[in-house]
Structure 1
């Protein structure tokens, strides 16, 4: 749900705009980098998913046996029909090759590369540093933060369980790594010597002030920017973000095969009740087909409504206004 417009707008406002590259081809990544650079001369970041293999998941980059595809489609067929989306009959293409994505990301020359689902290999960190690119890792527990620091990253994002979207846990199951930001951030700050960026549950100046009070050196914000008109989220998704209450969001594997936080809808309930959820990335690829169609026809009940527990604090439609609100929470001397 990243957009070049939103990434550039955040950077132009004085932040570090970031673009998520999940699922993008090398060609598309290079186009993203070019587009962001046309929009801003200020620093920006790119984010990559490491080729992490969770329990029951196939080898990264591999294909999918047709029997697995057919079983997954049998459970999802009612949702395809509801959306009026074509059911794939041929082979399902795997995700783009990580090494190709990485090479394209390096070519884009961002100020920073952030990674989720693991510790970037030493040669990746070295190659980034050789190009003047800072490396940021993402942790959901103290041991993950320590592993990232040992791996040579320049900063660690401490992602509290309130955060929107996928839980990027990599040392333990996400269900065993659900630490709220109030507890996680200061413990990560105490455990590592690199700067810590607070994430999860931050949507206004109060959240930013709290993050700095807990010892963080910066704040990462998702849902509040996702709700702006500059984001690539469908209008129905943006509207739901502004009205959601913290207790309404859930962690679910329904839409992607990996645990992610969002607002449950008919698609999530249908898949969970069916009990047949394919492993990542097959589930994500297949649901993506009807989700794209749902965005076209304006059916929020068939979308992935990713949002964090503070989503309902989102008040602004413009990314610059969101940034100004957040910046108001930065203590003197930290700007």
Structure 2
């Protein structure tokens, strides 16, 4: 038996495992598979339109009768700075020349939209069981509308102060995102990535500071990690990197090969790819321009000038300019189908917890 059933009872899932919403490298296929395995399905919506989100959720609802989490960003948008954008493109000029690209050609702006009226109306229409947010919470009126639609509100904290703020502003569940986690830091009350605690230092301190259930995230990729999170007071876990090599993910073949070769020292936190700190497997541009660069425009505008480079390199089978987001446990991933992996993670965790209890 799970020592804490609050997440299971709230989410109404078989296991207290939440699929990390990984924008750009997953869609309904991975979400459906995790739901079939007993975890909470997540659909990342920060890089898609309301129409696309509606389509994704419709497909999921047709395939499985299970709760779902819709995930959104809620950062404060920053207008592009033409001077800084031009300087960033100059910093990348040698790569444009190497790949035979015209730096003066028009480029589509990077798309990382915050939760807005259209998405809030979509939540009210589709009534997902869970709505999660990254980078804080939307304004109080929108949080109220999300809750009135019947959804549980979940949000990420990277420090205790953020967790306390989230609880005070309406979060029903808090994800304690440690420094080990892949993808963007969920930070919103701090910008200092050097002070972010690791998962197993952060989780017990968040648990002690709030009354709502806490989900541990970052560096958890097997039953041992899940059991350890519960031992520290977590009520559930969020797992992302362990699912990247599953056949249902949309990770490209070159990225899969990179993940398969990765170990504990393969990832770095970088702002080069989007303008905001995120952890991924180090690629060429991260190493040569960053991993942290003062030249990178504000989020998400750093990604704009990288767009043509990413497309050109991927045609050559390279991920030199692709966000290969992953956490420090990426080396523990497998090629197992996601439903099977979810059940295996839960079974292994329960065995560990039983042994600890005995």
Q: Would the TM-score normalized by the shorter structure come out above 0.5?
A: yes
1:41, CA displacement in angstroms?
Answer: 2.1
Whether the 8 Å CA contact 2:146–2:153 is kept in 1: the answer is: yes
CA change 1:47–1:293 in 2 (3 A) is farther
1:306 is matched with which residue? Answer: 325
How many residue pairs end up in the alignment? 324
Q: Distance in 2 between matches of 1:137 and 1:191?
A: 15
CA change 1:289–1:22 in 2 (3 A) is farther
Q: Distance in 1 between matches of 2:65 and 2:104?
A: 42
RMSD: 2.3
Q: Distance in 1 between matches of 2:105 and 2:328?
A: 38
1:65, CA displacement in angstroms?
Answer: 4.4
SS at match of 1:300: coil
1:257 is matched with which residue? Answer: 275
1:79, CA displacement in angstroms?
Answer: 3.2
2:60 is matched with which residue? Answer: 36
Moved more, 69-78 or 260-269: 69-78
1:204 is matched with which residue? Answer: 222
Moved more, 75-84 or 253-262: 75-84
1:57 is matched with which residue? Answer: none
CA change 1:253–1:151 in 2 (3 A) is same
Q: Distance in 1 between matches of 2:89 and 2:177?
A: 33
The answer for unaligned runs of 5 or more in structure 2 is 1-24
1:68 is matched with which residue? Answer: 84
TM-score, normalised by the number of residues in structure 2:
0.83
Q: Deviations over 1:245-288 (max 9, x none)?
A: 22221111111111111111212123228863222111023324
2:115 is matched with which residue? Answer: 98
Q: Distance in 2 between matches of 1:67 and 1:89?
A: 17
The answer for unaligned runs of 5 or more in structure 1 is 53-59
Q: Distance in 2 between matches of 1:243 and 1:94?
A: 29
TM-score, normalised by the number of residues in structure 1:
0.89
CA change 1:94–1:187 in 2 (3 A) is same
Whether the 8 Å CA contact 1:30–1:105 is kept in 2: the answer is: no
CA change 1:92–1:65 in 2 (3 A) is farther
- Aligned with residue 162 of structure 2, among 119, 126, 144: 144
